[in-house]
Amino acid sequence: MIFLRRAVQVAVLTLVVLPIAAVVAAPPAGATPHKRSQVEAGAGALARRMLVQLKVARPLSLRGYSHRRFQPRWAHHKGACDAREVVLARDGRRVRRNAACHPVKGRWYSPYDGRWLKSEKQVDVDHVVPLAYAWRSGARKWSQARRRAFANDLTRPELITVSHSANIAKGGQGPQSWRPPRRAYWCRYATSWITVKHHYRLSVTRRERVALLNMLRTCRG
């Protein structure tokens, strides 16, 4: 019995200490619909608990914001590859890069609108939580170094390859104003948004919180 109680305690601690991995993890390739439903349901439940921990506050002023306050340029991560190029290689299929690490060939799927794109010119690397939105959620008070780390974060689900048209339509809006046209992605979008905000301790507005909860209802299971 002592061993069993200890095992349960370890399992609970693991869930608490590693929430981000559980939320971010996508169902494995070829997973059955039942398995995918289980993964989504678990991610949704965990995201709800994380959302409760976020401070609810009015958005800060956009005064003083500029893209350069976060990202004068993409940060380099692997040799000649910057963060954008790493994401394009990660999210694409059969990606071929030149000596400077820039993709010259490949295929990319845009989960926002369900489109397959055959040219790097048709895709954007989107910040799930837009930089301007993060500014108004608390990043305004950060150091330049922390804002730069946020804009180039490859660990949290903040950077994702999407179609250029979807990225333009989204702009700097939050989930209360814009949601991916593809409803099947709402669960993943909401869990990613919450994971990023939870890690960086960014606030949410009341309307944003309601919109996220509504999107989490699409998590299957």
Residue 11 in domain: no
pLDDT tens-digit map of 48-79: 999 999 999 999 999 999 999 999 999 998 78
pLDDT (mean) for 89-112: 95
pLDDT of res. 123:
96
**Across residues 68-94, what is the average pLDDT?**
93
Listed range (40-44, 60-64, 90-94, 97-101) with the worst mean pLDDT: 40-44
Nearest to 163 by CA among 116, 130, 131: 116
What pLDDT is stored for residue 39 in this prediction? 75
Q: Is residue 25 part of a domain?
A: no
Mention every residue, 6+ apart, whose C-beta is less than 8 A from residue 160: 87, 91, 111, 125, 126, 128, 192
- Asked whether residue 150 is domain-assigned, the answer is yes
The mean of the pLDDT values for the chain is: 86
Q: What pLDDT score does 79 carry?
A: 80
CB-hemisphere CA count at 13 Å for 205? Answer: 15
Q: What is the pTM of this model?
A: 0.83
Give the residue carrying structure tokens 């409803």.
183
pLDDT 10s digits, 109-141: 999 999 999 999 999 999 999 999 999 999 999
Q: Which residues on neighbouring strands pair with residue 124, listed in sequence order?
A: 162
Residue 8 belongs to a domain: no
Q: Is residue 180 part of a domain?
A: yes
Q: What's the rounded mean pLDDT across residues 177-188?
A: 97
More confident residue, 18 or 40: 40
17-34: b or e for each residue (b if 16 or more CB lie within 10 Å)?
eebbebbbeebeeeeeee
Residue-number span of the structural domain to which 203 is assigned: 34-216
Question: How many separate domains does the chain show?
Answer: 1
Q: Tell me: the pLDDT tens digits for 188-221?
A: 999 999 999 999 999 999 999 999 999 999 998 5
Q: What was the pLDDT predicted at 88?
A: 96
47 assigned to some structural domain: yes
Of 8-22, 38-52, 135-149, 165-179, where does mean pLDDT reach its minimum? 8-22
Residue at 17 is within a domain: no
| Vertex 78 angle, CA 72 and 83, to 5° | 40
Please say if the pLDDT value at position 162 is more than 70.
yes
For 115-142, the three-class secondary structure string (H helix, E strand, C coil) is EEECCHHHEEEEECCCHHHHHHCCHHHC
Which tops the pLDDT comparison, 41 or 31?
A: 41
Residue 147 lies in a domain: yes
